[in-house]
Amino acid sequence: MPQLVTVKVNRPDHRPIRFWIPVLPVVLVLFPVVVLVVLAAIVACVVFRIGVVRALGAAWRVISALPGARFDIEQGRTAVLVAIR
């Protein structure tokens, strides 16, 4: 599971802004929402006749693969860099 998300915003005329977001406290605060999302996903799997265990396993594999991912987004002269550790 990812532990830390680093966000860096490069602005052309200003100093870069950095955010460090710890994942575990955010997940704990948003836990009720996470439970509702998982329940909605299970209902959607049943409605669309998708294997619930396979779908939840695939979601867990995607979340487990996130550490080490890096996203670079540029729009004009502004750049946003997101690194997941």
* Separation CA 72–CA 81 (nearest Å): 5
Q: Where are the alpha helices (DSSP H) in the chain?
A: 23-29, 31-47, 52-64
Q: What is the rounded (10 degree) CA torsion for 8, 70, 4, 18? A: 0
pLDDT of residue 72: 95
pLDDT band at 69 (very low <50, low <70, confident <90, very high): very high
pLDDT band at 43 (very low <50, low <70, confident <90, very high): very high
pLDDT band at 13 (very low <50, low <70, confident <90, very high): confident
Look-up of token digits 């979340």: 63
pLDDT of residue 12: 87
